[in-house]
Every structure is written in structure tokens, then in C-alpha cells.
Structure 1
Amino acid sequence: MITVHHLNNSRSQRVLWLLEELKLDYEVIRYERDAKTMLAPPELRKIHPLGKSPVITEGDVTVAESGAIVEYLVDRHGDGRLKPAQRTAEQLRYTYWLHYAEGSAMPPLLMSLLFSRIPKQPMPFFIRPIAKGISDKVLSNYIEPQLKQHLEYLESELQDRDWFAGKAFSAADIQMSFPIEALATRGGLDRKQPRLSDWLDRIHARPAYQRALERGGPYELLK
């Protein structure tokens, strides 16, 4: 049996979605973020030393990191589903997007989240304007231009295709869901990017996506 160690409002939601798309049996063990720090609870360290989610276990196998989990599940249980054929242009795109999601897209989104929270942290009142000025400058001069560049790039990549790897929906789209939903929440994605917006509508309408939400619980991404 596959067990998903599921942290609320986290990347593990897309693991549940992948399992639903593959129609695999699995169980969910839930963990809740600390209400003040938003960090994962220490109990997760019993499963993996870094104490982060997602993590899955299957028998004596433990797999962490979203991309590694996606590859493990698709290769072990997919029977050719949700992955393009080997040595094709679509397979190369598939591999690229699996890595792009966390390697390129998420760092500026996480920086945006962190720097936007700096002025809200406890500090002496006379320090707050300085902290806010530094935070605003980093956001406007560095992070927001990066997010804009990624939005333009992603929109262009969907001009001639409905899905990231090609004509067919794949696990690459599942992997890409977290950064794109984060862009929609706090990264500037709206109907000015019609192809990306349509892509979000399509994934949200998938029955497996809806079933994963039912299993995973409320999902307020990066709020």
C-alpha cells in the first residue's frame, strides 16, 4: 500500500492528484502546519530526516521530493500512462517541465512570499519602515520582474499546445500545477495570460483533481 504523508496546503496535494489519475489505492496520513510559523510539524522527521512534505512510503521504500515521487509512481505504477514515449520530442519536454517546476519556477515565488512577510514580522517600530523599504525594493527591482518573465515564458509555451509536454495531458502538468497555482495566488497570473488561465481551468475540471481535493482537505495555496 502506498502511504502519502500529507501536509496541508503543500506540494503533497499534487501527489494525491497523481495517485487519483493513476487510479491507485493509497492511504493518507495528515500533518498540520504550525499556525504561527507555517512550518511542518516535527513528526514528519520520523518519516524523512528533513521533516518536509511530500513524502510517500511503499513497503520499505521511502521517496521524498515532488519530482522524484512523480517519476517513481509513473515508472513503477503507470504502465505507460501519463508519460510520453521514450526518445520523442514530447519526452524531452516532459523531463524538462518536471525539473523546471521546482528548479526555476518556485525560487522566485518563495522569495516573493518571504519578502512580502518581512514587514509583518515582530520588530521595533523604528525598524519597520527600513525593513519595508528594503523588502519593497527587492520585490520591485528583482523578484517581480522575474515572475513577469516566467509568466511570459509559460504563456508562450502553451501557444501551440494544450499541455506542457505536448498534445496529451501528462504527469508534467501535475508537477507544474503547484507553481502555476502559486502564480495565480500571488504571482500576477490572471486572464491577461489566457492560455495559462485556460490550462488552470482544465486541470481544475479534471475528476481526479477534484477527488484529490476531497482526500487532501482544504487547499489554500501560499496564503
Structure 2
Amino acid sequence: MPTLYHAPNSRSSSIVTLIEELGADVEIQEVTVTRQDGSGGPDPRNPHPEKKVPYLVDGEEKIRERGAIVLYLTDKFPEAGLGPIEGQPGRGDYLSWLFYYQGIMEPVILLQFAGLSHPVLTASLRDHGTMTARLAETLETQPYLLGENYSAADLLCSSPFLWAPDLMPDNKAIRDWVARCADRPAVKRTVEREKAAA
């Protein structure tokens, strides 16, 4: 059985939600991590090489980074229909959004949050406005990133705005999409569990 190493109220919370959405048989092991406020610390029970979360272990397979874990799990549990598998329509868009999140969205959001800007960064990663425009141009014509149906790409890409609403762009299409994603029963249950754990 796969095992997810998870710290409540962290990036791994979205993977806990995904596991529930998939109806997947995955064991969840809670560990502590170093927090931005200085609390927590490396947990010897956590096999992640940097003691971070999420970290998924499935037999000999060890997967880190949320986009990779999302892809691994949606391919492993395709019956849930949360991500097109190889050969299905929409696979290219799905992969593009997962990698866009990991390679563009999260770094750009972190740079914006930290108040850092440099021409080299914006030329390579793009800037916050460009990232917002990319989301908006998709969401102004359809309710979800892949069209009419919610996918794990929506779960991943909406996650920073659910975690820190102050980071949400001032765009109606994006705000409405985040609200639709937040309204998912699995998202609500994760939020409630983690409020209780805090």
C-alpha cells in the first residue's frame, strides 16, 4: 500500500484531499516539518531526503513534489476520472497544467509573496500578471482548467489561493473558479480536519 508522509496545514494537505477524491487506499503518516515561523523541525520518521512534505512511497517508488505525486496517483487510480491517462483526450492540457503549477505558478507566487523581482526571474518564470492572465484566459471560457469537469489540475492549481486567500488575483473568473474548487466536499473535510488538528 502506498504511504503519504504529510504534515497538517502544509503543501501536503492538497494531496490528502486528492487521496480522498480518488477514493485511493493510501496510508497517511503524519510527520513534523520546519515551518516558516520557526516551529517544527526535521522529523526522523520522514524519509524525504530534505525532510519535507509531501512524500509518497509506493514500494520501491519514491515520489516528491506535488505535481509528480498528483500525476502518479491519478494514473494509478484512473477510475476516479480526476486526470486523463495516456491516450485519453485532454492528457496534454492536464500535463501542461501540472507542470505549469510546479514550474511557474508556485515560484511566481512565492516571489510575489517575498516581494522579490528581477528581470532575469520575470524573463524566465514570467511575472504575477502573466501568470494571472494565463489562468484567466482559460477560466473565462470554461469552469475548470480542462473544461467542464473538475480535475486534479484544478485541485493543485487552486491550492495556494485556498491556503492563503490574500494571494488570490483580483480577477472574477479566477475567484469564481477557486470558490468552485473550495466547495468540493473533500476540500471542506480536509479544512475541517486540519482546523481541528491545529
Residues 49-60 of structure 1: pairs in structure 2 closer than 5 A: 49-60=49-60
Give the match for residue 108 of structure 1. Answer: 108
How many residues in Structure 1 have an aligned counterpart in Structure 2?
A: 191
Q: Hey, what's the Cα distance between the residues in 1 that align with 2:164 and 2:33?
A: 21
1:209 matched to 2:187: yes
**Residue 98 and residue 38 in structure 1: after superposition, are their counterparts in 2 closer, same or farther (change >3 A)?**
farther
Q: Distance between the aligned counterparts of 1:21 and 1:99, measured in 2?
A: 21
Aligned partners of 2:32 and 2:42 also within 8 Å: no
TM-score by length of 1: 0.72
What is the distance in 2 between the residues matched to 1:218 and 1:199? 23
Q: In structure 1, what residue type is equivalent to 2:99?
A: H
Q: Which amino acid aligns with 1:194?
A: K
Find the residue that maps to 2:150 and give its secondary structure.
Answer: coil
Q: Answer whether contact 1:74 1:83 (CA < 8 A) is retained.
A: yes
Evaluate the alpha carbon distance shift between residue 8 and residue 185 of structure 1 in structure 2; reply closer, same or farther with a 3 A threshold.
Answer: farther
Corresponding residue for 1:120? Answer: none
Q: Distance in 1 between matches of 2:44 and 2:102?
A: 21
Sequence identity of aligned pairs in percent? Answer: 29
Could you tell me how far 1:66 is from its partner in structure 2?
0.8
Change (3 A) 1:23 1:100: same
Gaps of 5+ in 1: 116-134
Bigger drift between 91-100 and 4-13 goes to 4-13
Partner of residue 178, structure 1? 159
For 1:201 and 1:91, the matched residues in 2 are separated by: 25
Q: Distance in 2 between matches of 1:112 and 1:8?
A: 24
The one-letter amino acid paired with 2:14 is: R
1:17 is matched with: 17
Pairwise CA distance, 1:55: 0.5
Secondary structure of residue in 2 paired with 1:95: helix
How far did residue 184 of structure 1 move?
A: 3.4
Q: Quick one: structure 1 residues 110 and 213, their matched pair in 2 at CA, closer, same or farther if it must change by over 3 Å?
A: same
Distance 1:72 1:85 in 2: 10
- C-alpha change, 1:166 and 1:38, in structure 2 (3 Å) is farther
**Larger RCO, structures 1/2 (Cα 8 Å, 6+ apart):** 1
SS class of match (2:5): strand
Matched, 1:199 2:180: no
Displacement of 1:6 in angstroms is: 1.1
Alpha-carbon distance in 2 for matches of 1:8, 1:208 = 15
Tell me the CA shift for residue 171 of structure 1. 1.3
Measured against aligned partners, the alpha-carbon deviations of 1:68-124 in whole angstroms (never above 9, x if no partner) come to 111111111223611236456622211110100010111122123334xxxxxxxxx
TM-score, length-scaled by structure 2: 0.80
Displacement after TM superposition at 1:45 (Å): 7.7
> Residues of 2 paired with 1:202 and 1:76: CA distance?
25
Is 1:218–2:195 an aligned residue pair? yes
Contact 2:108–2:128 under 8 Å retained in 1: yes
SS in 1 for 2:48: coil
For 1:35 and 1:84, the matched residues in 2 are separated by: 34
Deviation of 1:210 (Å): 1.6
